[in-house]
C-alpha cells in the first residue's frame, strides 16, 4: 500500500514540474532561419549512366574460319594492332586456287590463239583442191579422147558394114571393127565415170578450205569467251587478295576491348561481330530528363556528377547534346513519363581522376545535377520553410514580435535546399522551418534552434 502512495506522489511531482516548465516558456517551440542574401543555383537532379559516344565493332569481312581470339574484356589495344585473324591456311588456299584459275585461262588463251596448225591445214586443203582441179581437167581430157575414139570406132564400123554388103570387106575386118567399137565404148564409159568421180571429189574438197577458215574464226570467238572468263577470274583473284589483306583485323583506335563475342576457333559468317572496342577518352554520361524539365536545359550548362560510383568528390561535366525527340518511359511506380535524353561530357581532368581512382567504366550508374540558372546575390530562404497555400501559392510563417505570421511569397530560383524570394520577405527576417500543420496565425512561438542555410 505504501508503494502505491509513493508512486502517486512521484507522478504528481513530475506533473507539477512539467506545468511549471511550460509556464516559463513564451510560446510554441520552433526552428527558424534568417532571410539572407547569397548565391542560389537552380538544378535538375536525375539518375544517369555512363556510356561511350562511339564504339568500334570488329566484324568478319567474309565467311571463314576465325583463329582463337585471346583478347579479353578490359585489354588495352593500340591503333593498328591485330586483334583477330582468319586462318592463314584457308587464305593461302583461296589465293592459290584463284591464281591457278587465272593461269589456266591465260594458257587456254595462248593455246587457242595459236593457229599455226590450222594455217598449215588451210594451205594443204587449198593445194589439195588445186590438185583435184588438175585431176578433173585430166579426166575431162581423157573423156573427150574416149568420146572421139568411140565416134571413130562407130564410123569405121558403119563403113565396114557397108563394104561387107558389097563384098568389099571380109568378115574378119567386120569383127575387128565391132570389137574396136565395143572397146572404145567401154573406155568412154570408164573415163566418164572417172570424170564424175573426180568432179565429186573436187566438190567435196572445195569445202575444206572454207571449213578450216570457219574453224579459225570460231577460235577467235572462243578467244573472246576465254578473255571474259579471264577477266572474271582476275576480278575474283583481286577479291581474294583483298580478303587476304582483310584477314588480319586491326584496331582502328587506341582503346580497350569492351566485349568479346567469340573466343574459340570456329567457322563464322560474314558480318558477325567479333569484338567491340572503345576509347576511355570518349566516356560520357546520359540521363533521361522529364520533358517538362528539359526545356530549361541548354548545351554548355555545368553539371555535377555524384553518387557512390563517383565517390565523395563530385565530378564536373557540361551538357553537350540534347536529343530532339522524347520517348515514353515507365517509372518504378508504374507511371508513364515523357523523357528526353541529355548527354553530358566529363571534364578531361575529372575523367582522368575517375579512371585512376574509381576505374569507372561503361554503363555505370550515377546521379547528375544539371544547373539551369543561378543568382549570386539572391534573397534566399531554406526550401523547408515553404509550403503551398489554399490557392496553391507559396507561403511561409515569418516571426514578427515573437509571433508566427502567415506570409505569401513569390519564389524565383529554387532547388532542394534553397529558394529565392522575389516578393514578400525582407533581408534579416526569420522564417519557421518545416512548420507544424496546427501552427496558427499570430500564435506565440519560441525559436529553439536557428539553422544556417547551405549554399
Domain range 98-223, CATH architecture = Orthogonal Bundle (1.10)
Neighbouring residues of 330: CB distance < 8 A, sequence distance ≥ 6: 336, 337
Average pLDDT over residues 409-413: 92
Task: Answer yes or no: is pLDDT of 21 > 50.
Answer: no
Residues 76-133: tens digit of each pLDDT: 999 999 999 988 888 888 889 989 999 998 888 888 777 777 778 778 877 887 777 8
CATH number of 45-53+281-374: 2.40.30.170
Residues 162-195: tens digit of each pLDDT: 777 777 777 777 778 778 888 878 887 887 888 7
What's the pLDDT score for residue 396?
Answer: 93
> What is the helix (H) or strand (E) element at residue 249, kind and residue range?
strand 248-250
CATH number of 26-40+377-450: 2.40.420.20
Residue 416: count other Cβ atoms within 10 Å of its Cβ: 11
Domains in the chain: boundaries? 26-40+377-450, 45-53+281-374, 55-86+247-277, 98-223
Strand ranges in 279-429 using DSSP code E only, listed in sequence order: 283-290, 302-306, 315-322, 327-330, 336-346, 365-382, 387-388, 394-400, 403-408, 410-414, 418-423
Residues 418-432: tens digit of each pLDDT: 999 999 999 999 999
Task: Tell me the C-alpha distance between 24 and 21, whole Å.
Answer: 5
pTM: 0.61
- 8 A C-beta contact, residue 455 and residue 414: no
Task: Answer yes or no: is pLDDT of 452 > 80.
Answer: no
What's the pLDDT score for residue 4?
Answer: 52
215 or 244, higher pLDDT: 244
Burial class (CB in 10 A: 0-12, 13-18, 19+), 226: buried
Categorize the per-residue pLDDT at 24 as very low, low, confident or very high, splitting at 50, 70 and 90: very low
- For cell 582522368, the residue is 352
Residues 333-386: tens digit of each pLDDT: 888 899 999 999 999 999 999 998 888 989 999 999 999 998 888 999 999 999
Neighbouring residues of 59: CB distance < 8 A, sequence distance ≥ 6: 271, 272, 273, 274
CATH number of 55-86+247-277: 2.40.50.100
Neighbouring residues of 28: CB distance < 8 A, sequence distance ≥ 6: 404, 436, 439, 443, 444, 445, 446
Residues 190-210: tens digit of each pLDDT: 878 887 888 787 777 777 777
Strands 336-346 and 327-330 turn out to be antiparallel
Amino acid at each position: 500500500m505504501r508503494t502505491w502512495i509513493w508512486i502517486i506522489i512521484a507522478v504528481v511531482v513530475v506533473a507539477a514540474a512539467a506545468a511549471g516548465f511550460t509556464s516559463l516558456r513564451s510560446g510554441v517551440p520552433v526552428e527558424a532561419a534568417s532571410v539572407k542574401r547569397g548565391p542560389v543555383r537552380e538544378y535538375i537532379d536525375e539518375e544517369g549512366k555512363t556510356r561511350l559516344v562511339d564504339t568500334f565493332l570488329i566484324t568478319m569481312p567474309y565467311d571463314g574460319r576465325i583463329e582463337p581470339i585471346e583478347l579479353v574484356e578490359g585489354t588495352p589495344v593500340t591503333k593498328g594492332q591485330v586483334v583477330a585473324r582468319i586462318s592463314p591456311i584457308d587464305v593461302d588456299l583461296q589465293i592459290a586456287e584463284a591464281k591457278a584459275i587465272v593461269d589456266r585461262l591465260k594458257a587456254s588463251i595462248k593455246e587457242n590463239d595459236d593457229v599455226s596448225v590450222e594455217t598449215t591445214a588451210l594451205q594443204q586443203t587449198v593445194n589439195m583442191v588445186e590438185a583435184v582441179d588438175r585431176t578433173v581437167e585430166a579426166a575431162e581430157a581423157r573423156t573427150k579422147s574416149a568420146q572421139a575414139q568411140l565416134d571413130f570406132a562407130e564410123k569405121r564400123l558403119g563403113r565396114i558394114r557397108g563394104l561387107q554388103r558389097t563384098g568389099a570387106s571380109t568378115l574378119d575386118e567386120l569383127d575387128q571393127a565391132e570389137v574396136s567399137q565395143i572397146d572404145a565404148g567401154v573406155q568412154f564409159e570408164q573415163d566418164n565415170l572417172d570424170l564424175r568421180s573426180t568432179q565429186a571429189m573436187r566438190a567435196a574438197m572445195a569445202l575444206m578450205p572454207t571449213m578450216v577458215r570457219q574453224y579459225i574464226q570460231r577460235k577467235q570467238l572462243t578467244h573472246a569467251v576465254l578473255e571474259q572468263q579471264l577477266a572474271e577470274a582476275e576480278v575474283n583473284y583481286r577479291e581474294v587478295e583483298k580478303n587476304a589483306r582483310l584477314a588480319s583485323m586491326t584496331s582502328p583506335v587506341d582503346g580497350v576491348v569492351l566485349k568479346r563475342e567469340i573466343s574459340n576457333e570456329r567457322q563464322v559468317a560474314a558480318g558477325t561481330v567479333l569484338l567491340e572496342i572503345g576509347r576511355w577518352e570518349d566516356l560520357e554520361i546520359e540521363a533521361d530528363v522529364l520533358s517538362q524539365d528539359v526545356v530549361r536545359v541548354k548545351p554548355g550548362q555545368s553539371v555535377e556528377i555524384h553518387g557512390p560510383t563517383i565517390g565523395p568528390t563530385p565530378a564536373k561535366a557540361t551538357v553537350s547534346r540534347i536529343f530532339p525527340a522524347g520517348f515514353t518511359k515507365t517509372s518504378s511506380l508504374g507511371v508513364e513519363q515523357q523523357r528526353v535524353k541529355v548527354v553530358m561530357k566529363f571534364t578531361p581532368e575529372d575523367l582522368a581522376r575517375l579512371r585512376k581512382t574509381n576505374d569507372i567504366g561503361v554503363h555505370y550508374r550515377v546521379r547528375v545535377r544539371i544547373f539551369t540558372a543561378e543568382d549570386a546575390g539572391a534573397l534566399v530562404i531554406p526550401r523547408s520553410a515553404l509550403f503551398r497555400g489554399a490557392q496553391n501559392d507559396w507561403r511561409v510563417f515569418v516571426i514578427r514580435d515573437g509571433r508566427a505570421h502567415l506570409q505569401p511569397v513569390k519564389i524565383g530560383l529554387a532547388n532542394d535546399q534553397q529558394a529565392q524570394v522575389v516578393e514578400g520577405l525582407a533581408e534579416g527576417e526569420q522564417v519557421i522551418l518545416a512548420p507544424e500543420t496546427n501552427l496558427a496565425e499570430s500564435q506565440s512561438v519560441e525559436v529553439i534552434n536557428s539553422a544556417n542555410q547551405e549554399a
